[in-house]
Amino acid sequence: MAIDSRIFVLSVLILLCKLSPSHGRTDPSFRVRAVNLGGWLVTEGWIKPSLFDGIPNKDFLDGTGLQFKSVTTGKYLCAETGGGTIIVANRTAASGWETFKLWRINEKTFNFRVFNNQFVGLDTNGNGIDVVAVSTIPGSSETFEIVRKPDDSTRIRIKAPNGNFLQAKSEALLTADFTGNSEWGDNDPSVFVMTISGRLQGEFQVTNGYGPKRATQVMREHWKTFIVEDDFKFISQNGLNAVRIPVGWWIASDPTPPPPYVGGSLKTLDNAFLWAQQPSKFTRTDGILISDYRKYGVKIIIDLHAAPGSQNGFEHSSSRDGSQEWGKTDDNIQQTVAVIDFLTARYAKSPSLYAVELINEPLAPGASLESLNKYYKAGYDAVRKHSSTAFVVLSNRLGDIDPRELFPLASGLMRSVVDVHYYNLFSSIFDNLSVQQNIDFINTNRTQQLNYVTTSNGPLTFVGEWVVEWRVNGATKEDYQRFGKAQLEVYGRATFGWAYWTLRNVNNHWSLEWMIKNGYIKL
């Protein structure tokens, strides 16, 4: 296709002018219109379930919650008092104390973590066969095998490290001394009915599930194919100007991150920076090679989505078993600052680096405001060591907090941004709302909430995650279009901008690519 060369040269010049001060806020009316690249460098199973398909024994991943009902007592196993003492078999209903969270050693063997975080094991200080939950570090006495009944996978037996099976001798006594085979009958005290009460499908689960060798292959294939250069073209051609890229803390020790994480995600992030600013090269029909600077120029917001220890216990922060340890020690905070330091140093010179988000969705009260403030101050300084221009994004805590709680700190920081996430989901207030009520909520309540955090002398505001999805059943395409339009209008007033969650997802409404291609949203 022939190109009018005058228009072409002109466009290139205009673009170069626009690009050069690319991370300055020279234009105060500029707003980020971004899409998240979720599920790429930090795994979330619901975004791409097939990533887990090849894992052997994939029901039993780290963090899977299991409940066991003894067929002889008819009652659930329970860590008495939540942990620290014996395991009993006398509970009629199962919840926290009756849930055992897996740590996967390999596809066959596991540790069971109880409510108070001890591990189930044999009472090595006593008779060696009573089953207790006292050890805080799992060792060989805490390592079990789960054997499923061949034709009914809800019936299981648990093989102890001494080679015997566990049995519910009575409601008050669980021991590891059943030696016989099983007919799997209701009179066999070594048989339990198993319920899976919860699952995590994050980066820890997928990498540890595959094991070191396979995980490297699978993850590298995923990184190479899930997001590609063409996506940056699509983004820049569809009214977007930026991407928010979730990354995990282990990226800073690439290519040899601590197990089970595997190396290669840093190179993939390097690629994103290349693609974001890559001039597209193509050969004209008359044989002349053209570098077309018009196509790209996507800004990048690096988002530390998974911090060491997990800042919220969710799979998207790579929690191993739902626990939330981030921020509890100074070492942990320093380790997180070092990740920010590393990433900013690496990309500070790229014209695409627009902002660094220090941590995503820390959850109150586990992540305390005190440790968060300490971290945000140190993380901000780490960014500024390398870049005077990159915006520094501070994510508000999830939970029952004052959305202005970061203002005392943020107001004293140059180019700081507060990130709020607005979903009409994850709360019972949305359970029974109609289409119109959902839209009214955006226009009224979200506007109020955004106004509350948008102040003339405070940080800029960023709606860093939102989606055109809700709890409405049977909504029409037009309903979705109206819902999306309302959100775009309201979030368009955020002074830093917004980012849709996410670019690609097997759930259509969560895939901005699908929403654009199918006419559900127009930017």
Ligand X SMILES: *[C@@H]1O[C@H](CO)[C@@H](O)[C@H](O)[C@H]1NC(C)=O
Q: Give the binding site for ligand X (CB under 6 A).
A: 80, 88, 90-91, 172, 428-429, 431-432, 444-445
| Chain position whose Cβ is nearest to ligand X | 172
Specify the 3-state DSSP secondary structure of 147.
strand
CB of 174 to ligand X, least distance (A): 10
Nearer to ligand X, 429 or 506 (CB): 429
Which of 502, 498, 444, 442 shows the shortest CA–CA distance to 470? Answer: 442
Structure tokens at 267: 């190179």
Question: How far apart (Å, rounded) are the C-alpha atoms in residues 152 and 127?
Answer: 33
DSSP SS3 for 278: coil
> 53 vs 431, which CB is nearer to ligand X?
431
Q: Count the residues in the chain.
A: 523
Nearer to ligand X, 182 or 447 (CB): 447
* C-alpha–C-alpha distance, residues 442 and 480, integer Å: 13
**Which residue's CB is nearer to ligand X, number 163 or number 474?**
474
424: its two tokens: 């009409």
The nearest distance, CB 80 to ligand X, in angstroms, is 6
Least distance to ligand X, CB of residue 77, Å = 11
Q: Say how many CA atoms lie within 13 Å of 13 toward its Cβ.
A: 6
- The helix/strand/coil state of 145 is strand
Complex with ligand X: residue 73 or 332, whichever CB lies closer: 73
At closest approach, how far in Å is the CB of 475 from ligand X? 17
Comparison of 29 and 92: residue with beta carbon closer to ligand X = 92
Whether the bond between 92 and the residue before it is cis, its omega within 30 degrees of 0, is: no
- CA dist 486 and 463 (Å) reads 14
Which structure tokens are listed for 70? 């003894």
Shortest separation between residue 401's beta carbon and ligand X, angstroms: 16
* Distance in angstroms between the alpha carbons of the first and the last residue of the chain: 27
Rama region for 322: left / alpha / beta (φ>0; ψ in -120 to 50; rest): left
Q: Which is nearer to ligand X, 230 or 431 (CB)?
A: 431
Least Å from the CB of residue 240 to ligand X:
30
Name the DSSP letter for residue 257. Answer: P
CB of 83 to ligand X, least distance (A): 14
The residue among 168 and 337 lying less far from ligand X, judged by its C-beta, is: 168
User: CB of residue 400 vs ligand X: minimum separation in angstroms?
Assistant: 14
Cα–Cα nearest to 242, from 357, 162, 323, 341:
357
Best CA proximity match to 362, nearest among 329, 395, 407, 325: 395
Q: Least separation, in Å, of the C-beta of 308 and ligand X? A: 35
CA atoms within 13 A on the CB side of 251: 31
* Cβ proximity to ligand X, 88 vs 227, nearer residue: 88
